Amino acid sequence: MSLTGIKPTGEPHLGNYIGAIRPALELTATYESIYFIADYHALTSIRDRAQFATYTRSVAATWITLGLDPEQTIFYKQSDVPEIFELTWILSCVTGKGLMNRAHAYKAARDRNAESGAADLDAGVNMGLFNYPILMAVDILIMGSDVVPVGQDQVQHVEYAADIAGSFNHLFGSEYSLKIPTALIPAGTGARTMPGTDGRKMSKSYGNTIPLFAPPSRLRKLVRGIVSDSTPVEEPKDPDSSAAFQIYENFATPDDVKDMRVRLEQGGTGWGELKNALYETLEAWLTPLRARYDELVAPGSELDAILAAGAEKARDRARPVLAGARRAIGVDS
Ligand code: ATP
């Protein structure tokens, strides 16, 4: 079984689709797959109540719109599975603080403080950020995951989950033990990152994203605003230097991409024309999807029932794992 966690920290964008959503959904062909919205992970940074709810809903609606089938998989919100949080405490008690000191996100926060000359290297670090590798370990272990598809930068988390399960099994696991997971790095991960409207990696932190379900007028404006050089229309252009072309490559048919490449390289085709083609391509793909997304994201939609049913299925898997851990530590004897 393969587990994918989705952190709802913003409006999903085209880069998320190509780099994360599409490859994760493709895994259903090979593995029994479980997906969850890691909303309590997002709480380490989100401080706005309305935003918290909106992001969770929009991320859930996005994944279903793009092909996640809640009948064929288990799809739930982390915060709907209380068993996770009890097991998090149990596993916190068998995890060395040193391991957490070495976690990437915590170390990165301290490095940022050191660079800015802060006297306290832990300034701005909450205990959620410090402990979240344990919560993530539990997300993985409580579902009995075999593999966790991750990018290279996330491998440490799966290794931590394996380490923490190993400690627990060593200390308490004579009759009951946690399944040790492994990281799965999907082929091609990290090979290409999609650029954003300013040419840098498309990323919410840079404010250069093209949101997946932006209304047509906003989509058109964003596509037109993609940075391009000032080569005149009639002159030959280098498509590979163009952010718009790199985005186009991911969404147009291979024939259309080839055709556009030739036209740009020959000269006589301007960046404006490429952007129009990109907009038309995105719009054709997104029009039916946007309607489905709008339906799902609306308050009171079927999304609530989908997530509630998913939570029940997830809890059915989580309960025996927690019960086993409780018995193993002796709290139930
Ligand atoms: P933030 O700026 O908050 O870090 P982000 O916009 O960079 O956010 P994440 O939420 O960090 O996006 O990314 C979620 C997933 O989407 C990751 O697995 C990442 O690999 C993928 N992803 C994000 N941006 C891109 C991109 N520009 N190209 C390809 N994949 C991307």
DSSP secondary structure string, 157-188?
Answer: HHHHHHHHHHHHHHHHTTS--PPPPEEE--TT
Range scoring the smallest mean pLDDT among 14-28, 53-67, 74-88, 181-195: 181-195
314 alpha carbon to ligand 1 midpoint, in Å? 26
**Residues 145 and 216 occupy one common structural domain:** no
**Residues 85 and 142 occupy one common structural domain:** yes
Q: Is residue 198 in some structural domain?
A: no
Question: How far is Cα 156 from Cα 103, in angstroms, rounded to an integer?
Answer: 8
Structure confidence at residue 152 (pLDDT):
79
86 alpha carbon to ligand 1 midpoint, in Å? 30
The yes-or-no verdict on residue 221 having pLDDT over 90 is: yes
Q: What is the mean pLDDT of residues 224-250?
A: 96
Phi, psi of 159 (to 5 degrees): -65, -40
Structure confidence at residue 190 (pLDDT):
52
Structure confidence at residue 46 (pLDDT):
92
**Residues 111 and 224 occupy one common structural domain:** no
Instruction: Report the percentage of the chain scoring pLDDT > 90.
Output: 92
Q: Is residue 312 in some structural domain?
A: yes
Given pLDDT bands bounded at 50, 70 and 90, which one contains residue 185? confident
Task: Provide the domain limits for residue 87.
Answer: 2-192+302-329
Beta carbons of 218 and 283 less than 8 angstroms apart: no
Question: How far is Cα 202 from Cα 192, in angstroms, rounded to an integer?
Answer: 11
**Residues 159 and 22 occupy one common structural domain:** yes
Structure confidence at residue 153 (pLDDT):
80
197 alpha carbon to ligand 1 midpoint, in Å? 14
Question: How far is Cα 192 from Cα 329, in angstroms, rounded to an integer?
Answer: 46
Q: What is the CATH number of the domain that holds 262?
A: 1.10.240.10
201 alpha carbon to ligand 1 midpoint, in Å? 9
202 lines ligand 1 (CB under 6 A): yes
Q: Is residue 56 in some structural domain?
A: yes
Q: Is residue 208 in some structural domain?
A: yes
Beta carbons of 211 and 21 less than 8 angstroms apart: no
Q: Of ligand 1's atoms, which has the minimum distance to the CA of residue 201? A: 27
The yes-or-no verdict on residue 333 having pLDDT over 80 is: no
20 lines ligand 1 (CB under 6 A): yes
Given pLDDT bands bounded at 50, 70 and 90, which one contains residue 188? low
230 lines ligand 1 (CB under 6 A): no
**Residues 117 and 11 occupy one common structural domain:** yes
313 lines ligand 1 (CB under 6 A): no
- Cα dihedral 68, 70, 73, 79 in deg (nearest 10): 100
Q: Is residue 199 in some structural domain?
A: no
**Residues 86 and 165 occupy one common structural domain:** yes
**Residues 47 and 147 occupy one common structural domain:** yes
Q: Is residue 197 in some structural domain?
A: no
Q: What is the mean pLDDT of residues 183-212?
A: 87
Q: Is residue 320 in some structural domain?
A: yes
Q: Of ligand 1's atoms, which has the minimum distance to the CA of residue 193? A: 28
Q: Is residue 284 in some structural domain?
A: yes
15 alpha carbon to ligand 1 midpoint, in Å? 6
154 lines ligand 1 (CB under 6 A): no
Number of domains, the chain: 2
**Residues 172 and 264 occupy one common structural domain:** no
Nearest alpha carbon, ligand 1 atom 16: 16
Structure confidence at residue 173 (pLDDT):
82
- Three-class HEC string of 33-82: EEEEECHHHHCCCCCCHHHHHHHHHHHHHHHHHCCCCCCCCEEEEHHHCC
The yes-or-no verdict on residue 41 having pLDDT over 90 is: yes
Tokens representing residue 66 in the block: 């793009």
Structure confidence at residue 111 (pLDDT):
97
**Residues 82 and 214 occupy one common structural domain:** no
**Residues 184 and 211 occupy one common structural domain:** no
Tokens representing residue 272 in the block: 């404006």
**Residues 175 and 260 occupy one common structural domain:** no
Which amino acid does the sequence have at 250? N
Q: Which residues contact 127 (CB under 8 A, 6 or more apart)?
A: none
Q: Of ligand 1's atoms, which has the minimum distance to the CA of residue 203? A: 6
- Quote ipTM for the complex: 0.95
Given pLDDT bands bounded at 50, 70 and 90, which one contains residue 174? confident
Task: Please state the pTM of the whole predicted model.
Answer: 0.92
Phi, psi of 36 (to 5 degrees): -145, 155
**Residues 90 and 237 occupy one common structural domain:** no
- Could you give the 3-state DSSP secondary structure of residue 317? helix
Q: What is the CATH number of the domain that holds 325?
A: 3.40.50.620
